[in-house]
Structure 1
Amino acid sequence: MSNAMESAAHHAGPPWIQPQIQEKIKWRDGDVVISVPAKSGTTWTMNIVHQLLTGGTSDFRDIYEEVPWIEFVAYPGQPHQEVLDRLDAMPHGTRRAFKTHSAPPVVPFLESAPAPDVKYIVVVRNPEEALVSFRPFIEKHSDEWFELWGMPREAMARPDFASFYEEVIERSGMHEHAFFGFLNAWWPLRERNNVLFLHYADMKGDHEGSIRKIAEFLKIEPTEEQWPKILAYTSFPWMKQHEDKFEASTAGRVPILKSGAMIRKGEAGDAKSDGMTDEISRHLRAVGERVCGDLEAVEWFYKGSART
């Protein structure tokens, strides 16, 4: 097994994600942490926050330049200090926003003085939908990216969802740690004053209402002239039309993704068409109930406010 594959197995994720970086960040008042599991609305939420912070703008090259991923390294052996230096170099006169797929305590949770005033926006998605979306996302990683890390594509890619679930998700424990473990960590903190807990299905069901809720949470008050731009630039059609702005084109030493990887269908409530079977669904739900224990949390994870 290559060093990259060993690292991936150890972290239950690819080697370019190194969560320990987050422990070393020098946080500032006003920082916004966007904490979301993979394929659960992360890029959309990054853009929403960026649009609110800027008053609505189309003038950016890559959302990852504006909202850095704080557990990501651009090439094998990149010193963590390089990542930290970039964060420190961000202007002090404007608020910073960051992406992470981690939950506490891996991403530090700060909530009381003298700690900096950091806000956390947490978004989750039905885990069936997220996992079936994750397989084509892996397929869209470039050959150059896998080669850079010395990782054969076959280490993570599979031709169908059933084999992907069994040989990649189950073997790595990703469903336990990166999804239900994520929920377990954030659920007790969901009502803290500096945490906004959202569900992807609810956000899709009320685009404008969700963005206004995020604005209120962040204490941002866009003008009447800014709101139409913010709503337009956070819409799925606009993001799909300008998907080159959302494909992490500046994040790696070589291209990470092929075109169309980040902005896919943007639908909620449809996992079977992407390969989810009844058998896998039952297995995944059983894992969730075992890991979480709190059935209310699990039910909300699957359905959001539509839970019965």
Structure 2
Amino acid sequence: MDQKAAEWPRKTRDLHNHHMDSTIWDKLDFRDDDIVIATYAKSGTTWVQQIVGQLLFQGAPDVAVAEMSPWLDLRVPPQDVKLEAVEAQRHRRFLKTHLPVDALTFSPKAKYLYIGRDGRDVVWSLYNHHVQANEYWYQALNDTPGRVGPPIARPPSDICQYFNEWLDRDGLPFWSFWENIRSWWTIRQLPNLMLLHFADLKADLPGQIRRIATFLEIPIDERRWPSIVEHCSFDYMKANARFSAPAGGIFWEGGAPTFVHKGTNGRWREVLSAADSRRYEEAARRELGDACAHWLASGEIVTETEPLPVVRPLAASSGTSATTISV
């Protein structure tokens, strides 16, 4: 799609909760080469921030992506502190958001990367993030002035209960999963948006890094290519988690390595009942449509007129009782 012919998204609302304040995007002075990395959450956000940071700084070992690439719509620290820090950056900026498109000020000049991941994998990662959060995390989210809506509560000890509450109440206790996915999928044809998928990053990390570099128009110094790939591996990120975990990991029990957890898919398969897994798949098709639901599950994009490939059902526990995880 030609940029001149594109119909650009417009912000139509603000989103506030214990985590978010979308009004900060109204105050950002966009630069023409800005990069915005977007996800629902726990879908590979930090991974893609690491990739972009490594491309921009050509494989440097100490790129502090958590500091350089802030989650702009997070309520803390205060907006003026965050905006001042972002405005002072002299490198090409790469910012992070978890907003749906209609709550985000959208720049036709910026480049956007949106990462999808099967919602069941999202919840398993989200649960670890939530259950390992310490008192500092709750204080920052619940007690910082300006919170709109109820505080975030501690999670149940049963991960299946957590999943079903998240599914039945569309993202509880965080924010809507379906509207986030749907809003970005709807604008997938825009020339300054690239869709990525967690499964593709797992399957072919070097290929996906080159794809991202091409989209962002970042030339690669081939002498630095081995370092770039190595520094984007999960093992490297886990060993150097202090560079990617917010505030160095102080908000989680066990510190930064807890934030950079496993980086795997499918942990739900031996835990979630077959009935609950089917409920999720039915909800995905109902909320997103067949083509988007297929992309979210597999990373494969098909046109609305193409027949969907036959996909072998993913294994899930056939039991009906929930599995409890002690925490």
TM-score, normalised on structure 2?
0.78
1:133 aligns with 2:157: no
* Cα deviation 1:96-119 (Å, max 9, x = unaligned): 0011111312122222xxxxx200
Structure-1 residue corresponding to 2:70: 68
**1:202 alignment partner, one of 193, 200, 203:** 200
1:279 aligns with 2:275: yes
C-alpha change, 1:305 and 1:172, in structure 2 (3 Å) is: closer
Where 2:294 maps in the other structure, the secondary structure is helix
Asked if the contact 1:73–1:83 (Cα under 8 Å) also holds between the matched residues in 2, the reply is no
**1:103 alignment partner, one of 95, 100, 104:** 100
Asked if the contact 1:51–1:233 (Cα under 8 Å) also holds between the matched residues in 2, the reply is yes
Structure-2 residue corresponding to 1:53: 56
Structure 2 unaligned regions, length at least 5:
1-13, 144-149, 302-307, 310-327
Taking the aligned partners of 1:234 and 1:297, their CA distance within structure 2 comes to 27
Number of aligned pairs?
A: 282
Where 1:287 maps in the other structure, the secondary structure is helix
Taking the aligned partners of 2:276 and 2:83, their CA distance within structure 1 comes to 40
1:149 CA displacement: 4.2
C-alpha change, 1:22 and 1:133, in structure 2 (3 Å) is: same
Where 2:277 maps in the other structure, the secondary structure is helix
Taking the aligned partners of 2:188 and 2:152, their CA distance within structure 1 comes to 38
Structure-2 residue corresponding to 1:7: none
Structure-1 residue corresponding to 2:84: 85
Asked if the contact 2:141–2:151 (Cα under 8 Å) also holds between the matched residues in 1, the reply is no
1:169 CA displacement: 5.4
1:189 CA displacement: 1.7
Amino acid at match of 1:222: I
Where 2:96 maps in the other structure, the secondary structure is strand
C-alpha change, 1:153 and 1:257, in structure 2 (3 Å) is: farther
Asked if the contact 1:33–1:119 (Cα under 8 Å) also holds between the matched residues in 2, the reply is yes
Structure 1 unaligned regions, length at least 5:
1-9, 112-116
**1:29 alignment partner, one of 22, 32, 40:** 32
Amino acid at match of 2:29: K
Where 2:259 maps in the other structure, the secondary structure is coil
CA RMSD after TM alignment = 2.7
Asked if the contact 1:129–1:271 (Cα under 8 Å) also holds between the matched residues in 2, the reply is yes
Structure-1 residue corresponding to 2:215: 217
TM-score, normalised on structure 1?
0.83
Where 1:196 maps in the other structure, the secondary structure is strand
- Greater helix percent: which structure? 1
Taking the aligned partners of 1:288 and 1:271, their CA distance within structure 2 comes to 16
1:283 CA displacement: 2.2
Higher RCO, 1 or 2 (CA under 8 Å, sep at least 6)?
Answer: 1
Stretch moving more, 82-91 or 41-50? 82-91
Paired-residue identity, %: 28
Asked if the contact 2:49–2:65 (Cα under 8 Å) also holds between the matched residues in 1, the reply is yes
Structure-2 residue corresponding to 1:233: 231
